[in-house]
A and B are shown apart, each in its own frame.
Chain A
Amino acid sequence: MSAAPSIFEKLGFRKASGVGEAGWGHTLLVAIVAFIYFLPVLMIIFTALKPATEALSVPPTLSPTSLFGLIPEQFVFSPTLENFTSVFSRSMTVGGAPEDTGFDHFFFNSIVIASVSVLLALIIGTLAAYGFSRYPLKGNDTYLFIILTTRMLPAIVVIIPVILMFRVVGLSGSYIGIILLYTAFNLAFTIWMMKSFFDELSTDVEDAARIDGSSEVKVFLKICLPQVIAGLAATFVFGLILTWNEFLFALLLTGVDTRTVPVAMNQAVSSGGRGTDWTLLAAIETLFLIPVFLVTFFLQNHLLRGVTFGTVKR
């Protein structure tokens, strides 16, 4: 930070190269920015560790440790894991015995519904994107635009006919219904995203493979797909994040058995008329964050290293 000659260098424009090696100085700069950016999340995690009585203390308590005396005593609280256990089992009435809240089942629902629908959307959407990119139909752009318009209307407009339709068909409250709905919900983004990745690939290699006698299936699987792994990873992460946290469809279309965590979280926190249960909410959210966090973390290598749009650029 101290030895920074120009604002452009700080922002990432290096004199010799754009994507180069930078040292620990840059790490320090980014670490400060990243820490500030992460701070609101960190506060949620810390709130999950607070005793319930300290949630609304004035001044707000900020940290579970005093960091060797760096943070004044009034801002320090003593951490507890009580909130995390009460996510799964707590007493519903004052003084009552702890009851099973069913949150393990809601977590299971969220995982199944989000992963199946995002994978389905990724498979169907990637095929369609490849089709749109390599074998344009008559009125290709019109089809793409219609697909985009499905994302433009507020969910509330789609949802009323969907509720009626599901009720007639017997799909409301079932896994299949919500999974199909989320698949459609993710398709527009998947198709547009993957098409932009396929469009960036050079067709020279594919044409060469075709001349050498590769089948169309082989060209797609062996040549095109490996070049867009970054795109697949990015699309999967975005789709997962959106589906994982989707609230309105889940609220109106899942039953007791298929309820997802965002809906259950909203109910757990606002029920009983005692106002928001901050520490419980924080604990649920912290647990709920872990799966997507891990998936994103493990796909990150593909997100960054592989994002060269493949080996050959047009």
Chain B
Amino acid sequence: MTATATQQPASDLFTISLGNWKLAILSGLVVSVVAGAVLPASASFWIVGAMAAMIAAAFAFNAYRRKYYGGLLVAPAIAVLFVMNIFPLLWSLGLSFFAYQSNQQSIRFVGLNNYIKALTNDIAAADNWDALINTAMFVVFTVSAQMIVGFLLALLFAKQFPLRKYLLILVLTPMMLSVVASGVFFTYYFDPTFGILSYVMGNITGEQFILMDNKVGAVAGIVFADAWMWSPFVMLLVLAGLVSVPKFLYEAAAIDRVSGWRRFWTITFPYIRGLLMLALLFRTIEAFKLADLVILLTKGGNDTMTISYHLIRIANEQNKTSEGAAISYVMLFMVIVLTNLYLYLANRRSQGT
């Protein structure tokens, strides 16, 4: 390795060395094109992959020699994300400009028609907007419930006390349940005849209690189940911040007789801000995708359709792949605007203090 790594001019195209990325690209391209032309798709994929790996190795070696560590460290992650996420996303972005159904062979370029239909068509657009408004409502309710409950739970666990370890794992368990099981079991708990909730409420009020028979109850049931499952996530992140606050700061504050409220804002909050923001960001993104609990609990009835479930219906059940892609890019645009706004606010705050 050291023998080939001596300072050769990189322009030396035909020098065989580990860092010669130009030769790697050239040979890689030639071999890939030949393989693509001669071999079947499944075999040539692996050859192209191996060539890509070779080029990547040449780049990596070159980067290492030049002490370009940033690119070197980030590259594997970018590569995996590109193949498994960004490339499929670009593919579906492309599909959104075509009329394509996954159960049919025909494909036809239609330009922006899918987008126009998603935003302005009398029937389709109205459904989309309803689902979007419902989603926004779920985002606000579930995320705020999770933040509040998670925060309060974290405050409870921020101290050392006997059996803390065993009690904490109990609170973390809801997060570990599979959504299929927890969703199905919430229908069981909420069930009008067999459910525990209806049994208790029935005994109190004396009449049959059906939680899911109106919108308020259905939304409350879904929000409750979602918040119950994911508050521990917020709790764990907030807790990580809370226990990292150095104790001497509180002792100094106690000597200076700082009020509890100010102590929280000036000492505790700066330590949890970063993780609180991370929790808020990821929960908001996940809440925008809320679908499985809705499918299991209400099947979108009682006006609880969310945009993500609506998409599953369009793209998977009605096989309107390209229409679904168009709607989801409109949705992605909204989430990006929202996240950028939020990251901007978060950055401004952290620089302001």
The interface size bin for chain A is 35 or more
Query: Known: A30-B167, A297-B169. Contact between A180 and B84, CB under 8 A?
Result: yes
Query: Known: A14-B159, A157-B324. Contact between A304 and B176, CB under 8 A?
Result: no
Q: Are A293 and B42 in contact (CB under 8 A)?
A: no
Query: Known: A169-B41, A187-B77. Contact between A12 and B170, CB under 8 A?
Result: no
Taking CB atoms, residues of chain B closer than 8 Å to A266 are: 180
Of the candidates A131, A132, A157, the one whose C-beta lies within 8 Å of that of B92 is: A157
Q: Tell me whether B8 is interfacial, beta carbon within 8 Å.
A: no
Q: Which of B169-212 contact A (CB under 8 A)?
A: 169-182, 184-186, 188-189, 193-196, 199
The interface size bin for chain B is 35 or more
Of the candidates A132, A145, A199, A241, the one whose C-beta lies within 8 Å of that of B175 is: A241
Q: Are B77 and A146 in contact (CB under 8 A)?
A: no
- Alpha-carbon gap, A188 to B78, bound state (A): 10
Query: Known: A13-B260, A170-B42, A288-B178. Contact between A150 and B288, CB under 8 A?
Result: no
- Alpha-carbon gap, A196 to B42, bound state (A): 40
> How far is the CB of B256 from the nearest CB of chain A, in Å?
13
Q: Are B73 and A128 in contact (CB under 8 A)?
A: yes
Q: Are B78 and A27 in contact (CB under 8 A)?
A: no
> How far is the CB of A240 from the nearest CB of chain B, in Å?
9
Q: Are B177 and A191 in contact (CB under 8 A)?
A: no
Of the candidates A12, A162, A170, the one whose C-beta lies within 8 Å of that of B158 is: A12
Chain B 257-270 interface mask (CB, 8 Å, partner A; 1/0) = 00010011001100
Q: Which of A246-267 contact B (CB under 8 A)?
A: 247-248, 261-262, 265-266
Chain A: which residue is nearest B289 at the CB level? A154
Taking CB atoms, residues of chain B closer than 8 Å to A153 are: 89, 289, 328, 331-332
Q: Are B250 and A16 in contact (CB under 8 A)?
A: yes
Q: Tell me whether B129 is interfacial, beta carbon within 8 Å.
A: no
Query: Known: A34-B170, A160-B92. Contact between A234 and B179, CB under 8 A?
Result: no
- Alpha-carbon gap, A14 to B42, bound state (A): 64
> How far is the CB of B54 from the nearest CB of chain A, in Å?
19
User: Which among B22-30, B108-116, B307-315 touches the partner chain?
Assistant: B307-315
20 contacts between A and B (CB under 8 A): A12-B159, A15-B254, A19-B242, A20-B160, A21-B161, A23-B161, A26-B159, A29-B156, A30-B167, A31-B163, A33-B156, A40-B182, A127-B76, A157-B328, A160-B95, A162-B84, A165-B87, A285-B181, A296-B172, A313-B246
Residues of chain A at the chain B interface (Cβ within 8 Å): 8, 11-24, 26-27, 29-31, 33-35, 37-38, 40-41, 43-44, 47, 56-60, 62, 124-125, 127-128, 130-132, 134-137, 143, 145-162, 164-165, 168-170, 180-181, 183-185, 187-189, 191-193, 196, 199-200, 216, 230, 234, 237-238, 241, 244-245, 247-248, 261-262, 265-266, 269, 276, 278, 281-282, 284-285, 288-289, 292-293, 296-297, 300-301, 303-304, 307-309, 313
